[in-house]
Structure 1
Amino acid sequence: MTDQHSTLRARRRAQTQRMIQAHAVRLFAERGYDATTVTDVAEAAGVSPMTVYRHFPTKEDLVLTDQHGRLVAEHLAAPAGGEPLVHRIGGALIGSAAALTDDDRDREFLLTRLRLMISTPALRARHLDNQYALQQAIIDALGQEAADPETAFQARAAASACLAALHTALVRWAEDDGRSDLPDLIGRALAAVFGQSPLSPGGAAGR
Structure 2
Amino acid sequence: MNMNETMQMIPFLLKGAATTVQVTALSVLVAFFVSFAAGFGRLSKWLWVRSLTSVYVEIFRGTSLLVQMFWLFFALPLLGIELPPIVAGVIALGLNYGAYGSEVVRSSIVAVPKGQTEAAIALNMSPLLRMRRIILPQAFVMMLPSFGNLLIELLKGTSLLSLITLADLTFQGMLLRTFDSSRTFEIFGLMLVMYFLMAYPLTLAMRWLERRASVGRV
Fold conserved between structures, TM > 0.5: no
Larger helix fraction of residues: 2
Who wins on radius of gyration, i.e. which is larger? Answer: 2
